[in-house]
Structure formats: structure tokens, C-alpha cells
Structure 1
Amino acid sequence: MAIFECLEFFLIIPLIIYLSYWISRRGKKSHEPTNWPVFGMLPAVLQNLNRVHDYATEVLIECGGTYMFKGPWFSNTHMLFTSDPANIHHVFSKNFSNYPKGPEFRKIFEVLGDGIFNADFELWEIHRRTTLSLLTHSKFHSSLETTVWGKLETGLLPVLASLCKQGTEVDLQDIFQRFTFDNICKFVLDYDPCSLCVELPHIPCEKAFSDSVEPLLLRHIVPESIWRLQQRLKIGGEKKLMEASQTFDDFIYPLIFLKNGEQEDDSNMLTTFRKVYEEKHIGPSSGLRDFLKDTSLSLIFAGRDTTSTCLTWLFWLIATNPSAETKILEEIETVLHSKEEKWRRFNVEESHKLIYLHGALCESLRLFPPVAMEHKAPTKPDILPSGHHLPENAKLIFSFYSVGRMETVWGKDCLEFRPERWIAPGGRIKHEPSYKFPAFNVGPRTCLGKEMAFIQMKMVAAAIVYHYHIELAEGNRVSPRVSIILQAKPGLKVRLTKRDVY
């Protein structure tokens, strides 16, 4: 009798699961995940993990821009996902003080320590004010021009010329990551690691950034107990993240000590932040060296990955939209008079005249924002403009990737690459509010390096388009990587054809 009761029990289990599935699917949209008993909606995420950004976009579009994700019952991973500009404006601007980065954000991004990304309140204000003083220093623009053009002429163009002569495929994403890594290290640490040269050397720190961005995204999705276990066992993505963290330390600490004894310069980043640390008595209790390391790492992270990611997707979009390449080339020749003279450097003021190229960069940032999502949590209960109630410390995930792909925000042509949408009738750049275009973040935490990024990207893009025609390598199917930085997977393999420019 007991045997029959056991068999009956095990036969009933599939029926219960099926009924739960059927009930949970009633009235749901086609992409909306099923809320399974015990496991919640995690199976749908795992099933779509290799395209998680596009899957989140499909769900958000069908569900009006905001959706409550319910994780496994034991995991405390319920999260409200949103791409609603009104919600973004409310959290990042109107009710900014109620949404600090907080302890959950710091746990996820613990590798960045007390740098500007993790900082809140007084420490964040000091970071921001100090960084702004460096970016607005009288020497900054001339230093930026010298650094970018120097790396273009001694690194980027010689490397591309060598690869073009060999007739080999070029991974532009790798090239851009090396370029921006060298430049931001020069700005932050006053040191050029020369990762972008003809030999294309392996620089462990430069590669460690790419190794860290995938596990950082998974920490948003996987229950903390799971990734903490991986951390203790030193397996999976957490092992990669730990190795990356050690690599960052090995690279940055010696340079901090090397530069600390040199002559002081008020335009030097390390000197400036050392003075701030000593005057304000802020930062980690572990001391000055950790404060400078955390500060440097955050700025290098921002300078390498965001700019290189935008350039990567820009050239993918140009390669798949030949008419845009023609218009960019025509603008370069018109603005810089390059038909009458050889290629020449152009300054910051001249870069502002490249309107169509600016629009193309904005389209790249709209469709492929380098920071694809952001995590927030209220310190006090709140009600979003969408009507959703948030208890204290609720997990709120903003999909910046989805914002640029919503018809309700950008119109029916939202998936099209149209640089023209950024050009006002008078021929000037059209401004869009940051809560609609959050590529540089929103509100008080808007990226301080926005102008620096545009100047650098225009110089790089103009130089490459002027000298080379770019075609995607055959069979190179590109998609967004599953990572916190929206890199291209498996890279951007192209073939270069030198233009007859002389």
C-alpha cells in the first residue's frame, strides 16, 4: 500500500507543475517569463542568458516599460526592471537623495573599492569635485589633444597600416580597447603602457578589464549565496574576477609609488587626489595607497571600456550602413579641407564642427550604451511615476539598453541607425534629456568625462574613416556580450582597404 501511495505522489508532482505553469501563463504576454514554484522566473533568465539584454528589452516592451522579476523563493532576488524615462528621471534626478549607491551596489562592485562609482554622500562629492577640477584645468584640453594625437600617430595608424599591408583581419574592438587603455593610463597615472603598438603585446591589466565585466553582470542576476560560494571555492566567473582584481593591484600600486615622489603638478591626477586625501581625511581606513588605487582603477575602468565600446559599435553600424560612412567622409573633407591638403591634426574647437559624426556617435550610444544597466535601491519607501511601490532597499534595475529600443521613447524607427535624428533644423546638435538618452548616466551623477569622450572618439573615428574603408569580415556575427559593459561578442573582425587620400 505504501508503494502505491509513493507512486501516486510522484505522479501528482508533474500534474501540479503543469497546472502551476498553465495558471501562471494565463493573460501573460508571449515573452513574459513564467513564475515557477520554488524557482520563480530564473529558468527564463537562464534560458535566455546568452541574449539577456535583448530578452529584457522584449519583456519590458510588452509590459509597458516596467516589470517585476521574481527570483527563487530562497534567494531574495526579486527585482523591479524598468526602462521608463519617467522612472529614470524620478530616481536619478528628482529623488536623487533617496537612491544612493548603497551597500548592495558596493557588494556587487567591491572590486572598485572606494572609487567614484561606489562612493556616496561626502566621499562622492569630493571625488566628483576633484575630478571636475582636473577636467576643467587650463592645461587639460591641450594635454588631451597632445595625448590623443600622439597615440593616433605612433600607435593606432601604424598598427592599422601594418595589419592592412598583411591583409589580415583586424579586431577593431581589441584595437580600441588598447588605444583607450593607453590614453586613460596616461591621464590618470601619467604612464603609457604602450599596449597599442605593432607587436600588440599582451598587457595583463588591459585584458583584466574584459575578464571582469561578465561576472559583474551575473552578480546582478545570480543569488548572492551562489556567487559568494563560487568566490570561496575560487571557481567560475568569480575566480576570473579575483584574478582580475589582483592584476589591477599589481599594475597600479607600483605606479602610485613611482609617481608619488615626483615633482608636484596641480594638473596631475595622483598629486591632486593625494592632496585631497590629506586635507579632507577621507577614503578607506586602509590608507592613502588604497584610496589612490581605488580612485585610479575607477577612472581607468570608465576611460577604457565606455569609449572603446562606443567606437566598436559605431564602426559596426557604419559597416552595415554604407551611406553613413560616405556622409562622415564628406563631412571630414568639408570641415577639414582634406581634399586640398594631406590629413592633419584638428583641435577641440574644430571637432565641434563634425556634426554628422557627432550624431553617428550618439546613435551608437543610444542603441548600444556602454553601461547597459544600473542598479539602485531606495533608502526609504517610494512610489515610482509608473505607479509601482518600492519598499525600503528594494532592488531596482534600469535597462539603459532597452530605453534606446522602445518605440514609445524614440518612435517607430527606433531600431534604425539614423545620425540625422540628432541634427536640429538649423544644423546644430539636437539635445535630448539624459533620462531619455542615459548613455552618460543621469542627473547629478552624469559622467564628467562626456566631452572628453566625444573629443577622443571624433579624432579616432575621423582618422580611421579618412584613411580606410572598412568591411565586416565574412562570417563575423556580432552580438552584445553578456556583461555589465556592452562589448561586442566575439569582437569586431573587419578587413581594411586603404583609401587613396594623397
Structure 2
Amino acid sequence: MGLAELPLAYPELLLSLACFLFLFLRLGRHRSSLPRNWPLLGMFPGLLCQLHRFHDWITDLLAESGCTFLFKGPWLSGMNMLVTADPANVNHIFNASFANYPKGEEFLEIFDILGDGIFNADHDSWKSQRRAAHALISDHGFRRFVAATSRDKVERGLLPLLARAAEERSAVDLQDIFLRLSFDATCKQVFGVDLGCLSPGLPVVPFARAMDDAEEVLFFRHTVPRGFWKLLRWLRAGEEKKMVIAWETIDSFIQTRVSKKMEEVSKAREENKEDEEMAPADLLTSYLNRRAGVVDVAVESKKFLRDTTVNLMLAGRDTIASALTWFSWVISQHPHVEHKILDELRAILAKRTATDQVSSPENPVIFDAEDLSPAVYLHAALYESLRLFPPVPFEHKSALRPDVLPSGHRVDPKTKIFFSLYAMGRIEGVWGEDCCEFKPERWISDRGRLKHEPSYRFLSFNSGPRTCLGKDMAFTQMKVAAAAMVYNFCIKLVEGHVVAPKLSIILHMKNGLRVRVENRSP
């Protein structure tokens, strides 16, 4: 087939698949959740039929198969994968045999837009980047900076916007608001600039739109044969054309921000300013200054700075926004949980002066991170929301050497292992008969303290050596925003609005979260 004929193959392939699926739906239905293994095509038709409910289908599949299932893709497609939500397998791969299970070349190829950043890195590169990131993120000055940034964005951005929505009695997309909140906060923490995405009028943010598009394409790459999406990438067609445009937008934004920051740091060095005089204390400035000699990589490399900041922006913007969105929805569906959080917040405010306790549209109550240390029930409710709606709903790895998992399944270097965090929170064998219930109490001990759950059961912040470095900071930002919103406002879902997961590598809502906001009575 000549090069000129290649574009014609795309619609012809889709037509062939459509005909096959028609026959499959008419003749091939069976009651089991397990997909039928067809000649040549494997279980791929079953995947296509269930793609609209991908995460719930994977949950049903794993529940029926005993937490681990071998998915067979089309012949020679490279889509064979071992799907698991078995905590014993997770512990083995993420902890006990960590060295044998890197991200792998295929992971790097799928997530190429992240470059050589920490999410893609393996071996010595990963160790070096993690050591540098840990030193900078664990710095007390930076943690104070994060807490101050979080409070400031809630006070000057989130609460005024929600107050306007309550006054105008207009419906708003709470997911969009949280994405803007976390984008502004992350830009401040990474680049030292506030882009004002929560300002009146809600300005368009091309970078944010590009990130959403890129995440959708990354999900698409997981659901089709490897050769197919690589062909589309080469042709710059279909979903992969969207990736090209998104990549250009992301790189343009990052390049602008990195260049400006390098100029600022260079000018400060020429003027012999001390580190303390340089503001703000953002991560990019810290990398460029290589404080205390902790960064042992060539930070002057613009590629390193580009890859590092893209990874940080993805981690900061999307995961926190997703967590707050699902938390807000699930709280709106469980008034008794909302009331318990309110009682806890009122008890915390009782220790303040009388003038600090009263909430009004003109003077909303704002909580500092330190105020919320005793907010055990709020913390438990966030944990429970993350258990059922993990911001990163799946992950995958591959083995360097042949191995046998605790479940008895054999793996080799050609085996892709797919972990469903979404399914793990909904499997009775992992969390008990009430696994699908939203129940913050499961995280609280008889003594009223937070319970510890092994990370290989609660995988929202990863497990083992790759455990999320920003976990504590993420909770600081989430608790400050959630407490202020719940205490000052009542959130009600717009009637008829459908809540469903979006097909993306981040668990966003497909239709956003349309709500009406009401001022809460003092």
C-alpha cells in the first residue's frame, strides 16, 4: 500500500470494526463481565463495547476474576496485559521487588509529552531527580510558602467567586473553578507567578485546555493497539493531531515561564543578591539556585527544566482539582457527612475570638493549615473520597526479569501490568462488604484518630519508593479549600446534571460539576 493510500485506511478500519461490533452485539452477548476472546481480535471488541464505562467495567471484571485478569489484545498488537487490583501483587511490585519493575520503555513512549521528568524516569535518573525534589519540597521555607499560597488563593480567588455565584444565583462548573484554583496555586509554587485564572470573567487558559487534550490522548493510547496510535502520530491524524497541537501550546507556555525565571535569577546573581532577598521562593528558582548543593543535575539545560516543570504542573494542577471536585460532589450527596464536618469546623472556630467565628458574604471564614490539624473527620472524608475516586485511576509497569506474582500469575519482560486504583477501592475482598459506600468512619479509630492503611491497599499516593513526595502539601491545599467552601457555602447539584468519569488519565468529570451555590446561614 502506497503512502498516498494510508489516510484511506483509517475510515476503512473504523467501518470494518463497526460491522464487526454490530455482529458482536447481536450475536455475541453473554452474561459474564469477562470479555470473549475472539480469534485474531482477542478481547479488543469487548473493550470497545465497554469503553464508555471503562473504569466500572474493569471493576466488574476484576471482581468476577478474583482481583487479577489476563487481557488478550489483538494478535501482534502488543496489547496483552495483566490487569490487577490485588494488594498482594501491588505490594510485591511496588515494594518487595521494586527494582524488577521500572516504568519501562513502553511507558516512556506512551507518556512522551512528559519527557525525561520524574514520572517517566527510571534507575539512576529517577534517583537523582527524586533526591533533588525531596530536598526542595521538604524545605520548611517552601512548605510555609505552599501554605501561604493556598490560603491566599482561597481568600482572594475561590471564596469571592463562590460568593458572586451565590449572589447571582447562577449555576457554575465547580470542576472548572477547582482546576483554575489549582492551576494558579501550582503556577505560583512552581514558577513564582500568579496568572489570575480565578479573576472575574474567568479568562481562557490555553495551557489548561492543552493539558486536558493531552491527557485524553494519553488515555486513548492505552485503549488501541500500539502500532495504530503510532501510525496516527506519524500521520498527525485523529487523536494524535490533538496531541501535536497540545504539545506546542504546553511547550510555548513552559518556555516563556522558564526563560523569564532564568533572566530573573541571572539578574539577581549579577547584583549579588542573597537567596533570602530573592522572591518568591518557588521551585524553579530553587532548582536554578541549586540551594545547599542538593541538585546534582545540569539545571541549566532547558530540556531538564521543561520536563521537570511539566511534570510538576501535571501533579499539582490536575490531581488536586480532581480530588476536590469528587469530594464536593460526594459531600453534596451525603448531608450527614457534611454536618459532621461542619460540627468539627465549628469546634475549631470556638477557640478563636468571637469576631473570627461568624461567617457572612462580606466576611467569609478562612482556615489556616495549622487550624485544621485537629480536623480528623474532614481528613477522613478526603481519604474516603480519594479511595473511591483516585485522581490517577490507573497505572502500569513492566518486569525486567521473569517473575511469579503472589496471585500465582507468571510475568515476563513482554508482560504489561495494569493496576486499577479505581477498582481497588470498590472490591469487597479489599475493603469489605461496604466497599462501595462513602463512609469516612472507616478511617477513624475508636480513639478518634486517623487510621493508617497500607499504601498497597490505598494507592492514591502511590506506594513504595515512588510514594508521592507532595502528599502532605496536597492535603494542606485540599483541606484549606474544602473547609472554607463547606463552612461558608452550601453546594447543591443542578437538577438533571449527570456525573460520570471522563476518559482520561486523570479522573475528571466528563460533564464538569454543575452546581448552585448558597450562602450558609451563620
What TM-score comes out, normalization by structure 2 length?
0.88
CA contact (8 A) 1:123 1:283 kept: no
Report the residue type matching 1:366 in the other structure: R
Once residues 40 and 133 of structure 1 are traced to their aligned partners in structure 2, the CA distance between those partners, rounded to angstroms, is 47
Question: Within 5 Å, which residues of 2 pair with 1:449-460?
Answer: 449-460=470-481
Residue ranges of structure 1 left out of the alignment (5+ in a row):
1-13
1:491 counterpart residue number: 512
Shift of the 165–347 alpha-carbon distance from structure 1 to 2, 3 Å rule, reads closer
Give the drift of 1:256.
0.8
Q: Distance in 2 between matches of 1:324 and 1:52?
A: 29
Q: Write out aligned runs for 1:76-115 (5 A).
A: 76-115=78-117
1:258 matches 2:260: yes
Write out per-residue CA displacement over residues 35-90 of structure 1, whole angstroms, 9 at most, x where no aligned residue: 01111100010001111111011000000000000001131211110000000000
Query: What's the counterpart of residue 435 of structure 1?
Result: 456
Aligned 8 A contact 2:181 2:198 in 1:
yes
Secondary structure in 1 matching 2:455: coil
| Offset of residue 283 of structure 1 | 6.7
Report % sequence identity. 47
Q: How big is the shift at 1:261?
A: 2.5
Cα root mean square deviation, aligned: 2.2
SS at match of 2:109: helix
Deviations 1:150-188 (A, max 9, x none): 111211111111122221111110000000011011111
Q: CA deviation at 1:101?
A: 1.2
Alpha-carbon distance in 1 for matches of 2:294, 2:339: 53
Tell me which moved more, 264-273 or 484-493. Answer: 264-273
**Alignment partners' CA distance in 2, 1:280 and 1:492:** 41
What displacement does 1:29 show?
A: 7.1
TM-fit CA distance, 1:401: 0.6
1:369 aligns with 2:390: yes
Task: Note the alpha carbon deviations across 1:74-119, whole angstroms, 9 max, x for none.
Answer: 3121111000000000000100001111211100100000111011
Counterpart among 298, 301, 316 of residue 288 in structure 1: 301
Q: Equivalents in 2 of 1:31, 1:375: separation in Å?
A: 22
Q: Per the alignment, in what secondary structure is the counterpart of residue 139 of structure 1?
A: helix
* Residue of structure 1 equivalent to 2:370: 349
TM-score, length basis structure 1: 0.91
Give CA-to-partner distance per residue, 1:234-256, whole Å, 9 cap, x none: 23221222211111111111111
Q: Does 1:142 align with 2:156?
A: no
Q: 1:145 to 1:280 in 2, by over 3 A?
A: closer
In structure 1, what residue type is equivalent to 2:519? Answer: K
1:417-461 CA deviation, whole Å, 9 max, x = no partner? Answer: 011111111111111000000000111101011000111101100
2:348 counterpart of 1:335: yes
Q: Which residue of 2 aligns with 1:8?
A: none
Q: CA deviation at 1:477?
A: 1.0
Closer/same/farther in 2, CA of residues 247 and 479 from structure 1, 3 Å limit: same
Which sections of structure 2, spanning at least 5 residues, go unmatched? 1-19, 270-274, 359-363
Q: Which runs of 4+ in 1 moved over 4 A?
A: 275-284
Aligned match for 1:384, one of 380, 405, 410? 405
Q: Which residue of 2 aligns with 1:461?
A: 482
Task: State the SS of the aligned residue for 1:440.
Answer: coil
One-letter amino acid matched to 2:302? R
Conserved in 2, the CA contact under 8 Å of 1:333 and 1:339? Answer: no
Match for residue 226 of structure 2?
224
1:439 aligned counterpart, secondary structure: coil
Q: Aligned partner of 1:333: which letter? A: R
8 Å contact kept, 1:274–1:288? no
Separation in structure 2 between the aligned mates of residue 332 and residue 314 of structure 1, nearest angstrom:
17
Does residue 474 of the first structure (1) align with residue 476 of the second (2)?
Answer: no
What residue identity is the alignment partner of 1:301?
L
- The 3-state SS of whatever aligns with 2:460 is helix
Tell me, in whole angstroms, the C-alpha distance in 1 between the residues paired with 2:237 and 2:98: 37
**SS of residue paired to 1:469:** strand
Do residues 444 (structure 1) and 465 (structure 2) align? yes
Which of 183, 193, 203 is 2:185 aligned to? 183
State whether residues 130 and 272 of structure 1, in contact with CA within 8 Å, keep that contact through their aligned partners in structure 2: no
